[in-house]
Amino acid sequence: MNAVPYGLRCDHRTTPLGVAGLPLLAWRARGADPISFQVDVDGVWSSGRVTDPAAISVRYDGPPLRPGTRYDWQVTLWGRDGVPGTARSWFETGLDTWSAAWIAADPDAVEHVDPPTEGELALPDHGLQPCPQLRRAFHARSPVIAARLHISAKGLYEAAVNGHRAGDGRLTPGWTDYRRRIQYQTLDVTRWITEGENVLGVTLADGWWSGFVGFDPRRPGYHYGRFPELIAELHLTYADGSAEVVGTDAAWRVGRGHVRYADLLKGECHDLRAATPGWDRPGFDDSGWRPAVVTGRDHTLLAPSPDEPVREVREIAAVALTRLGPDTHLVDFGQNLAGRLRLALPESRPGARVTIRHAETLDDAGRLDTANLRTADATDVLVSAGPATVFEPAFTYHGFRYAEISGAADLGEVSAVVLHSDTPWTGTFSCSDPEINRLWRNIEWGQRGNFVSVPTDCPQRDERLGWMADAQVFLPTACFNADVAAFFAKWLRDVRDAQTPDGGFPNVAPRLSGVAEEGAPGWADAGVLVPWHLYEVYGDPAFLDVDSMAAWVDFVHRHNPDLIWRARTGPHFADWLAPGPATPRELLATAFFHRSADLTARAADVHGRTADTERMRRLAGDIRTAFIKTFLLPAGRLTGDTQTGYLLALAFGLLPPDQVAPAARRLAELVEEHGPQTGFLGVNLLCPVLSEHGRADLAHALLRRTDPPSWLYQVRNGATTVWERWDGEGAASMNSFNHYAFGSIGEWLYGGVAGIGQAPGSVAYRELVIRPLPGDLSWARASYESVRGRIAVEWERAEGAFRLAVTVPPGATATVHLPDGPTHHVPSGDHLFRSTQETRP
């Protein structure tokens, strides 16, 4: 059996368009252990045959890559049998220079839209504007063999070539801090170009750029800009080898179509009576349209997207449709999700108005409960032109399970289109308890609903911000569920873009004007915690920006020279939504101060930065000493005596060795007496720390608990995602039913219940630890498509016997701990273990 590469990736993506810099070329392996590898890139560079059994990637190290060029590449692996295994892939580079201009509809016309004429739809008082349509006709003089559309917007765009949609991304180009970086996409549109006349058409919408963003009540455009703008270059390569570029400039024409307004929070309105059929195809008369306005030629902020876009990932049919009145229907999709409706409507009178409202829950009367949406109207409107049609918004999304459709006596097919950033799914989990399986599905849906361009806190209300603490506590679970390397590579750029010149990380990224300034412990520390975990999981040192990480630690140190984090460098959210006693803020903050210093030292060591390693290591040691002196009481007690306090101290290695066991016992006492009392900053550590210190039985008791606060309380009360609050109670305006922070228990389902773990110091699952903790379950199984290859665990027990099957990927080894004590060290491959002894956690 030889070593065979598969799953080839370039910069953590499959066959990406628009690659910049020196790409990372990676592969997985099946079959035998690889001993050496060789990567060849299209005749321009070869790594040569490199002996490295641990290798899973190599960074391109050849001549500068040409812009706008496709490169084929291949990886060859050799095992001990000397027989090569080869796999091939490709990537394309992006632009190095732009020539196009930024264009928009006439800004004066945007700011002063004519009032509606008689019979035309009156807009709600949102300050929203119609979505402009921009078109450019061009002539292809001969057959085209390649056409690439490089495109971006300040706002959102949807592009078409000769009436065919360009690309499958939604809500493009995605959300960044547009003052620091604007992403562009590269789209292959070759098949839509014909010899002769062609048309490139683009519709623009406000999006995050000039729409309502977050819970700030000000007008749209307050955070970034006033109206959307477009930049695009269509690069044509002819069969004779010549090339041509069609770019945005004043020759483009602008008109107003049927999308009367579109906003991510407020919703979207289509008035089909104003539709302009054929506007994005040849032959359309645009003589009545205005010329586009050139708004600038600054290309310095443009950067190729490093991640996959938001895509339509599935369509869900309604599970129930209830008529509430002659023309009003309530739709239940059976699942809380992020996306929008696709609705077939029969023929109706011109001007008939259909309104779709969305909500996560119903009130006691069985109608939509929208109290938790706050200022997010989440309302879509269709005004009919008469003929039957299928309606789906293009520039908005909502968090919902239920929808109320009013204004239509009869409905055709109704479905929900699920949208999220396209992160390939890598994990599976199931066990003998159906309620735990429902919990895992809730965690999965929470991740899908909140990974929409950035890792948001919730998809439904007027917030949807990239809260840093939510992301860092959920990240280990997210990495098991899906390949989030490219997604978080993009978001880390948002985080670093938001870092202040003196080193302060924000609490949300991308940064917004006037929202959540930098400095909250456990929130801003995500600028260090997230890159370190990504490095451990994916093995790419590029995640570790030591300068950025060290700047944050130094920022906290300057404000707290005595090493106890007391200074208010920004808001302090403490252990958000903890149901028990408050953890002392200085203890919590100092624990994270130590954690960031410690991980920065490790990151510096990865990059061989000896001086930074030693400086940060000394600082972390000094913080630990200050923590012990300030917060440690006799008999392993800590100031405040809270579960989260003990969890942070134990997980971050802050206690003297002789105080670890007493502190762990006290933690267990508190959990046994009160159940979980942790908030966002402690919940991800709860079951892992209990298990590590010999109380897996207590971790299982928490998992199976059904009284509030508990995970299964949510399940038993109909949850299909994870709630913001343990019990779903509290002020309606602060009660999201799709928040993933408490879903961080998912890491322990994979790593505790199933038993998939990584040895301390191991990177990219080179050294596995398989340690299943059965509890009272009779079976469990999990699989994970790691960067090295497939890992799988399946165990069951019956009649006093325990059976464990393990798959270890090529290039890895595993230490397998059976629940009754025996330990086995095994190489890659499939392994089966049996025990006849009674097993308990």
Q: Could you list the active site residues? A: 463, 724
- Which amino acid appears at position 580 of this protein? G
Question: Cβ(57)–Cβ(22) under 8 Å?
Answer: no
- The dihedral sign for the CA sequence 437, 442, 447, 452: positive
DSSP letter at 308 equals P
Tokens 């990537």 belong to: 91
Q: Could you give the CA distance from residue 728 to residue 736 in angstroms, rounded to a whole number?
A: 8
CB within 8 Å of 166: residues ≥ 6 apart? 149, 151, 159, 160, 187, 189, 192
- The dihedral sign for the CA sequence 386, 389, 391, 395: negative
Q: How many residues make up the chain in this entry?
A: 841
Question: 701 — phi, psi (to 5°)?
Answer: -60, -40
Question: Cβ(253)–Cβ(136) under 8 Å?
Answer: yes
Q: Show the beta-strand stretches assigned E in 673-828.
A: 756-758, 767-770, 779-785, 790-798, 801-808, 813-817, 823-826
Question: 542 — phi, psi (to 5°)?
Answer: -65, -20
Cβ neighbourhood burial of 97 (10 Å; 0-12, 13-18, 19+) = exposed
Q: Could you give the CA distance from residue 327 to residue 410 in angstroms, rounded to a whole number?
A: 7
Cβ neighbourhood burial of 634 (10 Å; 0-12, 13-18, 19+) = exposed
Question: 810 — phi, psi (to 5°)?
Answer: -55, 140
- Which amino acid appears at position 790 of this protein? R
- Which amino acid appears at position 237 of this protein? T
Q: Could you give the CA distance from residue 414 to residue 200 in angstroms, rounded to a whole number?
A: 31
Establish whether the linkage from the previous residue to 510 is cis, with ω within 30° of 0.
Answer: yes
Q: Could you give the CA distance from residue 202 to residue 497 in angstroms, rounded to a whole number?
A: 29
Tokens 């095992």 belong to: 79
